[in-house]
Amino acid sequence: MKEEIDSFQKSYRRFTRYFSIEPKEGKRTKMAITKIHPIKSTLNFAIDYITDTDKTDEKALVSAHLCHPITAHTKFIKTRKDANTSGSVLARHLIQSFYPGETTSEKAHQIGMELCRKILKDEYQYVLSTHVDKGHIHNHIIFNNVNSKTGKCYQSNKRSYHQIRFQSDTLCKENNLSVIDEYYEAYKRKYKTKGKSWYENEHHKRGTSWKSKLQFDIDRLIKQSKDWDEFLSKMTAQGYEIKQGKHIAFRHKDKERFTRAKTIGEDYTEEKIKERILESTNTRSTKPKSRVKKIIDVESNPKVKESKGYEFWAKKHNLKVMADSVLFLFFQGIKSVAQLDVLIQERANKRQELQEKIKLIDDKSDQLATVMEHAHTIKQFKEIYKYHKDNPNDKQFENEYSREIALYKVAATDLLETYKKLPDTKELLNELDSIQEKKNTLMKEYSESKTNMDDLFVIRKNFEQYMGKEMER
C-alpha cells in the first residue's frame, strides 16, 4: 500500500504546477487552472490525499456531489460498472490555485463549488477540497470520468480545457479576482514568438536549429511564391513532406517527426503564411524597379565577336541606354558628371542616416520588449514575492517559489533604473505600435533610396564606360 501511495504522490508532484498564470493590465494576475490530470489507478489514495485532515482545516473545506468523500471511490466504480464502461481513465483531477492573500479559504471553496456546477452541470460525481496547509490556497477537484446521467465518458481535450479556462475567468471577474492582461497578450502575438528550450535556443544562435531551418525556408519561399499552391510546391521541392489539417505541419526528409509550423511562432500558422504570401506578392508588384539598364562593353563582349548582328544590336542598345540615362539625370536636375557624383554622395549619406534611424528604432523596440517582460513578471509574481517578504521564515514556500522570487527581484531591479513606478502595459504596447509604424515608413523610404542609388551607380558606370570609349575614338 505504501508503494501505491508513494507512486501516486510522485505522479502528483510531477503533474502539479500551481502557478501557470497570466496577468491583467493594472491588476493582479489570474488564478490558475492547471491541466486536467487523468487518474487511471490508486483512485482511493488520490481522494484520501486531497481530503487529508491537516490540509483541509479538519475537513471543514471538503464537499462532495452525488457521493460521500469517504466512499466516493466505490461510488465512482459502481457508476462505471452500471454504465458498462471499460475505459482506462477512472477520474479526472483538476487543480485551481490562488495567490497568497488574494482570497479566503471559504471564498476559494465557494468558487470551487461554482466552477464544478458550471463545468460538470450536476451530472458527475465529484469531491472538492480546499488546501490551506501551504503558503497559497488552492482547490483540488476529483470527478468521475463517467457521466452519472448519460453513462458517457468525459471528453478531455483542448476544447473542454478552454471551456474550463473561460468559466474560471468569468468567476475571477465576478469575484474581483485577477484576469488576463489583454495588452501583454497582444504584445506576444505581434512581437514575440513562442519560447524555445535552452537546447533549441543554443542551436538557434549557431544557426543549426531544426526549427530555425524550417523558419528560414518558410520565410524564403514565402517571398518566392505568388500563391499558396506555389508555396506548397516549393516546400515539397525543398524536401519537405506536408501534412495539412487543423494545423499545418512539415517533416523534412532528414527528420522522423512532423513539426507544426505554429510552434515556430504566431506568423507561421497556415492563415498567417497565406496572408504573408499575399502581402509579399503585393509588395513585389509595387516595388520600384531599376529604370536604367547597363552599357554593354562592345569591345570585350564575346558575343559581339561571334555575331555581327549582336554587335549591331548592342550598339543600338547602348545608344538607347545613354539616352535614358541622360533623361533620368535631366529630371533629377543633373547637368554634369560632377553634379552626379555630388548627388551620389548626398544619397549615400541619406541612406546611412536612414540605417541609423532604423537601428535606433530596433534598439528602442528591444528595450520596450524587455520592459514589457519585466512588467509582466512583476505583476505575475507580485503576490508571491509579497508573501515571501512578509513570511521570511516560511522556507518551504521560499524553496517552492525560488525561481519566481528570483525573477521578480531581477525584473524589479532593472525597472527601477528607468521607471519610478510600474509601467502601464497598454502604454507600452501603444508605444511599440507607434515606433513600428515609424520603422515601416523608414524601411519603405530606405528601399526606395536603395533603388534610386542603384540607378545612379549604373548611370555613373554607363557614363564612365560609354564616354570613355567615345573619347578614345
* CA distance linking residue 99 with residue 102, whole number of Å: 5
Look at residue 300 and tell me whether its pLDDT is greater than 90: no
Let me know whether 220 and 259 are in one domain.
Answer: yes
Provide the pLDDT confidence category of residue 21 given band limits of 50, 70 and 90. Answer: very low
**Residues 212, 172: one domain?**
no
Domain containing residue 167: CATH number: 3.30.930.30
- How buried is residue 269: exposed, middle or buried, by Cβ count under 10 Å (0-12/13-18/19+)? middle
Residues 260 and 161 in one domain: no
- The residue among 247, 266, 286 that closes a domain is 286
Give the residue among 456, 245, 435 at the shortest CA–CA distance from 337.
456
Per the CB < 8 A criterion, the answer to whether 374 and 354 are in contact is no
Q: How far apart are CA 215 and CA 230, in angstroms?
A: 17
Say if residue 32 is in the same domain as residue 163. yes
Return the percentage of the chain with pLDDT > 90, whole number: 29
317 located within any domain: no
- Asked if residue 365 and residue 405 are part of one domain, the reply reads yes
Encode pLDDT of 147-179 as tens digits: 999 999 999 988 888 888 788 878 877 887 765
The answer to the question of residue 246 being in a domain is yes
pLDDT-derived band of residue 93, with 50, 70 and 90 as boundaries?
Answer: very high
In a domain, 432, yes or no: yes
Q: Is residue 184 predicted with pLDDT exceeding 80? A: no
Residue 410: per-residue pLDDT:
93
| Whether residue 100 sits in one domain with residue 8 | yes
Is residue 62 within 8 Å of 112, Cβ to Cβ?
no
Residue that is last in its domain, among 130, 153, 180: 180
In 106-214, the DSSP E strands lie at 126-131, 138-144
Q: Which residue has the cell 504570401?
A: 277
Grid cell digits, residue 307:
555575331
Cell 498564470: give the residue.
21
399 and 254 share one domain: no
Whether pLDDT at 246 is above 50: yes
Q: How, if at all, do strands 138-144 and 37-39 pair?
A: unpaired
Q: Are residues 111 and 67 in the same domain?
A: yes
Rg (CA), the chain: 33
Whether the Cβ atoms of residue 83 and residue 151 lie closer than 8 Å to each other: yes
Asked if residue 330 is part of any domain, the answer here is no
Q: Is residue 325 part of a domain?
A: no
**Tally of domains in the chain:** 3
* Averaged pLDDT, 340-357: 88
| pLDDT at position 261 over 70 | yes
Give the domain-ending residue among 151, 180, 209.
180
pLDDT per position as a tens digit, 368-415: 989 999 998 888 788 788 888 988 998 888 887 888 899 999 999 999
- Do 360 and 235 share a domain, yes or no? no
Residue 454 lies in a domain: yes
Structural domain range at position 396:
337-472
> Is position 26 within any domain?
yes
Whether 381 is covered by a domain: the verdict is yes
Is 243 in the same domain as 346?
A: no
Place of cell 504546477: 17
Are residues 16 and 150 located together in one domain of the fold?
Answer: yes
Q: Are residues 54 and 153 in the same domain?
A: yes
Whether 338 has a pLDDT exceeding 60, the answer reads yes
